[in-house]
Chain A
Amino acid sequence: MNCPRCDSPKTRVMTKSPVGDVWEVYVCDVCAYSWRSTEDPKVWPTFKLKPEQIPNLDVIPAIAPLDPDVSV
């Protein structure tokens, strides 16, 4: 099952309904889009994403520089 937004095949079941076997929720591991099995997601063209666009999205908030004595 491909992601309705970025078309990536890297999707999985995030969880199942806590009560009964009513629905599942899926999530895309590339763009984090999530949807329920009872939905029929139709992502508008303006909100479609290509995986290669994701690293170039705006970063909010900007990441502060490390203090001089700290390393990652």
Chain B
Amino acid sequence: MAKVYKDLREFLATLDQEGQLLRITDEVMPEPSIGAAGRAATRMSNGPAVYFEKIAGYKNPLVTNAHGSWQNHALMMGMDKDTPVKEQFFELNRRWDKYPCDPVIVDRAQASCKENVIESDINLFDVLPLYRINDQDGGFFLSKASVITYDRDEPDNLGKVNVGTYRIQVKDVDTIGIQALPFHDIAIQLAKYERRNEPMPIAVTLGNVPLITFMASTPIAYDQSEYSFAGALQDGVPVEITPADTDPHLLVPATSEVVLEGYIKPRVRTCEGPFGEFPGSYSGARNQCEIKITHITHRTNPIFENLYLGMPWTEIDYLMALNTSVPMFKQLHNEGFPEVTAVNAMYTHGIGTIIAVKPRFGGFAKAAAMRFLSTPHGMAYGKLVILVDDFVDPFNLEQVMWALTTRVLPSKDVNLIHNAAGMPLDPSSYPAGMTTKLIIDATTPVAPEPNPRPVALVADPEGTEEWAKTLAEISAALGK
């Protein structure tokens, strides 16, 4: 049984024990220190979390980059921190099949997120050490919240309780803006309230068990439960949730550090942004939704968890890497293409995707690419698709480059699909949301496609695996 964390604090304790958390004990100014440290941490080979104990003018501490490395990602899953990415991918696939593992609803008295309550004179700055993440952001943003909403027409349907990550700008001491893009689940729910001109109940939760945060940014079907997936990814250990104080249908993680409760103002849009976004560029100002916060609960001495995002890779890339790859793999492998052996959809949330496939006949790999490009996520995000043979590790970019350089005849293997759907935040899409899809088939030709110059692959010399173990043992001994 893999290690499972009951709250963010247990996860941080493990990161600390494993040398994956750095404590900053000196007082820092919020700008530019916190954003800069988050940026710098992601460039370190071990990508540690950074915990700020004292932030000038604020009461509470902050942690950033908690998910920001493959080591931390492995520890999130309770695995050895040195687990290779491909092994993490297959372990996530194994646990994925444990869905649904429904959450346990606990009483208010058992929920640590209720330790403190603020019902009047709401001021987010009293609870959260807010800061500007990137210099040209239009304000202070929450970049790592798990936002809870439900379906107005089916309030008791757990599958339609949505847990999502959206960018949130602090507009006032009790008012925040939120970006609900039309293809996000929250926008489907919002439309139902706005047709009735009713406020939409919402809870913004911060500092959660790491696999809830992970699932909040995972693309799954509208009627699938992020909580039931989080339990599955905890290897079958359910997560604990509890009703929000202001609305019993808003089910929030029981151990959140902070829960902001309130409502989206119906039919209101106000100026929001710019914000340095995950493609590594700013998205400009737009008129977006606004939330009034009416009630806060929080743990004693709450830890504000937030992330840096900018030019990849940053912490956010780890929260849309394997959790984009696994559902894409499932939708191909389990639904018509068992010949797809792995999917690496880690590049800018799947805008760039590498599919490993064992083609059965000529043109087969290209068909797998088109299948990916017609999944709900691949349709909007997928732009650059590379197909490699099944014996190429799609998570090993050196192997992928080998396939591109030795398997691609550009005149026949590079294909463009014009005037297709795209991701509006991709600055190369034009107009925003329209793009050209690129499919590069780097698999070995299979009949009836001609392969006029077949090659004999060079195999590893006999004894390579044994030598790998021997050399690793010598290296480890030297390290001691």
By a beta-carbon cutoff of 8 Å, the part of chain A in contact with chain B is 5, 14-15, 17-20, 22-23, 25, 27, 31-36, 38-39, 43-44, 46-47, 49, 54-55, 57-67, 70-72
Tell whether A57 pairs with B138 under 8 Å between CB atoms, given A36-B30, A64-B191: no
Also in contact, A14 and B181, with CB within 8 A (given A38-B31, A57-B286, A60-B288) = no
- Shortest distance in angstroms between B291's beta carbon and chain A's nearest beta carbon? 13
B286→A58 contact, CB < 8 A: yes
Interface of A is mostly: loop
Minimal beta-carbon separation of A2 from chain B (angstroms): 16
Q: Identify which of B166-174, B341-349, B407-415 touches chain A.
A: B166-174
A-B contact pairs, 12 of them (CB 8 A): A14-B172, A15-B125, A19-B57, A32-B171, A33-B139, A34-B138, A38-B29, A44-B136, A49-B271, A58-B286, A64-B194, A65-B195
| A62 proximity list for chain B (CB < 8 A) | 182
Chain A min CB distance to B264 (Å): 11
Task: Assess whether B179 is in contact with A60, with CB atoms less than 8 Å apart.
Answer: yes
Are A33's CB and B181's CB within 8 A? no
Least Cβ distance of B4 to chain A in Å?
Answer: 35
Would A22 and B56 be within 8 Å (CB), given that A61-B180, A61-B181, A61-B182 are in contact? Answer: yes
Interface range on chain B (Cβ under 8 Å from partner): 35 or more
Alpha-carbon separation in the docked complex, A10 to B289 (Å): 22
CA distance A39 to B138 in the complex (A): 13
Complex alpha-carbon distance, A54 and B287, angstroms: 8
CB <8 Å contact, B287 and A61: no
Q: Are A27 and B172 in contact (CB under 8 A)?
A: yes
**B187 close to chain A: CB less than 8 A:** yes
Which residues of B sit under 8 angstroms from A43, Cβ to Cβ? 136
Given the contacts A18-B58, A18-B59, A57-B285, A63 and B267 also touching, CB distance less than 8 Å: yes
Whether, in the assembled complex, B197 has its beta carbon less than 8 Å from a beta carbon of chain A, the answer is yes
Q: A60-B182, A61-B191 are in contact. List 10 more A-B contacts (CB 8 A).
A: A36-B30, A36-B31, A38-B29, A38-B30, A38-B31, A43-B136, A49-B271, A60-B269, A63-B267, A70-B196
Residue pair A5, B138 in contact (C-beta under 8 Å): yes
Partner of A70, one of B29, B172, B195: B195
Q: Would you call B284 an interface residue if the criterion is a C-beta within 8 Å of the partner chain's C-beta atoms? A: yes
- How far, in angstroms, from A49 to B286 measured CA to CA in the complex? 11
Please pick, from A33, A38, A66, the residue contacting B138 in the complex, using a CB distance under 8 A.
Answer: A33
Cβ–Cβ < 8 Å partners of B194 in chain A: 63-64
Query: B181, A60: Cβ atoms under 8 Å?
Result: yes
Does B56 contact A18, Cβ atoms closer than 8 Å? no
Interface centre among A18, A59, A61, A63 (most CB of B within 10 A): A61
Pairwise interchain contact A60-B195, C-beta atoms closer than 8 A: no
B287–A17 touching, CB < 8 Å? no
Whether B190 sits at the interface, judged by CB under 8 Å, is: yes
The answer to the question of B97 belonging to the interface, with a C-beta cut-off of 8 Å to chain A, is no
Give chain A residues whose Cβ lies under 8 Å from the Cβ of B180: 60-61
- Chain A residue numbers with a CB within 8 Å of B31 are 36, 38-39
Distance A49 CA – B272 CA, assembled complex (angstroms): 12
Min Cβ gap B164→A in Å is 14
Contact between B56 and A59, CB atoms less than 8 A apart: no
Q: Knowing A20-B57, A27-B172 are in contact, say whether A47-B196 is a contact too (CB < 8 A).
A: no
- Residues of chain B within 8 A (CB-CB) of A71 are 197
Is B123 an interface residue, CB under 8 A from the partner?
Answer: yes
